[in-house]
Amino acid sequence: MYWGARTDVARAGRRVVEAGLVGGAAGNVSERSGDRVIVTPGGARLHELTDRDCPVLTLDGRVVDGQQTPSSETPMHLAIYRATDAGAIVHTHSANCVAVSTVLDVLPPIHYYTLMLGGVVRVAEYATYGTPELARNVLAALEGGRRAALMANHGAVALGRDLDEAIENAQLLEWLCGVYISAKTLGEPRALTDAQLGEAVERFAAPSYTHPS
């Protein structure tokens, strides 16, 4: 059952590897389908996944279909689905995100594209991978409608209405972190002020808005 969604998740596993967001088995992907969640399996090489490899779970974590063990980060995925309107989630250990997550508590808003992630991106407090504590810390970092968060000394998580959007948001966060790191090598980057961000938000909300450019 849920073969369409399982195919989507398996394909998304390959896409995040091809996008350079994930290497080997580092990272996981999930999609919500009604009151079920399809997630990549633990320890899986994401570029080799098939639909059969992806287990189907209830929102409280009971496996209802599939032979493989769900990803160790499944408690975080489920906690996010229970608390938000996310339709898909991508978790990565992409290099720029990990680098920033080891130094900062928030990603300074030096580019207005941060608004596409719901505001200034926070770094969730460190906790051991796969634990309910880490899930709680990530939820706290997503508060206020954020679509992404960094995870201290670990990686990043990005939400979307669907897998396309979650992958785009993961790529955007990796780009924002890369730009910040590059800028930092030149000097102290200027962060946008609240007023400047507010004006950009107003443009996003304007009737003529299509896509920020």
CA atoms of 94 and 97, how far apart (whole Å) = 6
Q: How far is the CB of 7 from Zn ion (least distance, A)?
A: 24
Q: How many residues bind Zn ion (CB under 5 A)?
A: 1
Cβ proximity to Zn ion: between 117 and 134 the closer is 134
Which region, judged by CB under 5 A, interacts with Zn ion, from 42-50, 116-124, 152-160, 205-213? Answer: 152-160
DSSP sequence for 49-94:
--GGGS-EEETTS-EEE-SSPBPTTHHHHHHHHHHS--SEEEEE--
Q: How far is the CB of 85 from Zn ion (least distance, A)?
A: 23
Touching Zn ion, residues 8-67 (CB under 5 A): none
DSSP letter, residue 118: T
Residue 166 DSSP SS3: helix
Give the gyration radius of the chain's Cα atoms: 17
CA atoms of 107 and 122, how far apart (whole Å) = 6
73 as an active site residue: the answer is yes
Q: How far is the CB of 101 from Zn ion (least distance, A)?
A: 11
Task: For the beta carbon of residue 152, count every other beta carbon within 10 angstroms.
Answer: 20
CA atoms of 16 and 36, how far apart (whole Å) = 22
Task: For the beta carbon of residue 18, count every other beta carbon within 10 angstroms.
Answer: 11
Q: Which member of 18, 31, 73, 165 is catalytic?
A: 73
Which region, judged by CB under 5 A, interacts with Zn ion, from 5-13, 41-49, 153-161, 163-171? Answer: 153-161
Q: Which residue is nearest to Zn ion (CB)?
A: 155
Which region, judged by CB under 5 A, interacts with Zn ion, from 80-88, 109-117, 147-155, 163-171? Answer: 147-155
Cβ proximity to Zn ion: between 155 and 160 the closer is 155
Cβ proximity to Zn ion: between 157 and 192 the closer is 157
CA atoms of 40 and 94, how far apart (whole Å) = 17
Cβ proximity to Zn ion: between 45 and 184 the closer is 45
Which region, judged by CB under 5 A, interacts with Zn ion, from 102-110, 137-145, 148-156, 157-165? Answer: 148-156
Residues that bind Zn ion (CB under 5 A): 155
Positions marked catalytic: 73
